[in-house]
Amino acid sequence: MSQILVPRDGGGTITTITSTGGTITVTNPAGPVTNIDTVAPGFIWENTAISKTAEINKGYIVSNVGLVTITLPATAPVGSQVKVLGAGLSGWVIDQPAGVSIEWDTVDSTTIGTGTLASTDNYDSVELVCTTADLIWGVLNAKGNITIT
């Protein structure tokens, strides 16, 4: 038998967890359990040699002899992140769906050229954070000579 403290409005209560023959039983004291925070899974990195649409809270280590395009997701809550790191001979481009923009310092990607970020060297990297749900991504960190076009 194990016991854990479960947060409740105005304090906490002890909840009992038991396991018998592979069956887990949770026994709560009377009353609803509230204010339990969920923890999102950690940031995930993926090696890729192909162009793809990014998933939120995921990083891409790009390794290919040709150019790889990572397209930002069309739907993303505030605080979502996408990171891209070149690893080898390939370059990368971060593209954006229609209606989405990338902000870097005072430059808005939708006001110039094609609206992309691009690496110029093999190991350039960029970290983007969604600052307005589904619409705006800001450059948090960048290494190398990234171009916005």
Q: Report pLDDT for 130.
A: 96
Q: In degrees rounded to 5, what are phi and psi of residue 111? A: -95, -5
**CA separation for the pair 37, 130 (Å, rounded):** 22
- Say if residue 124's pLDDT is above 60: yes
For the chain, the average pLDDT equals 81
**pLDDT band per the 50, 70, 90 thresholds, residue 105:** confident
- 66 and 17 both lie in a single domain: no
Express as a percent the part of the chain with pLDDT over 90.
48
Q: Report pLDDT for 38.
A: 46
- 24 and 50 both lie in a single domain: no
State which residues form the domain around 135: 44-148
**CA separation for the pair 27, 20 (Å, rounded):** 14
- Say if residue 1's pLDDT is above 60: no
Number of domains in the chain: 2
Contact 115, 137 (CB under 8 A): no
Residue 18 neighbours by CB under 8 Å, 6+ apart: 1, 2, 24, 25, 27
CA atoms 131, 134, 138, 139: torsion sign: positive
Q: Report pLDDT for 81.
A: 96
> Is the model's pTM score more than 0.75?
no
* Residue whose tokens read 């110029």: 120
Strand 125-132 to 136-143 pairing: antiparallel
- 102 and 135 both lie in a single domain: yes
Q: For the residues 60-76, what does the mean pLDDT come to?
A: 94
**CATH code (residue 76):** 2.60.120
Q: Report pLDDT for 36.
A: 45
- 53 and 26 both lie in a single domain: no
**CA separation for the pair 83, 135 (Å, rounded):** 17
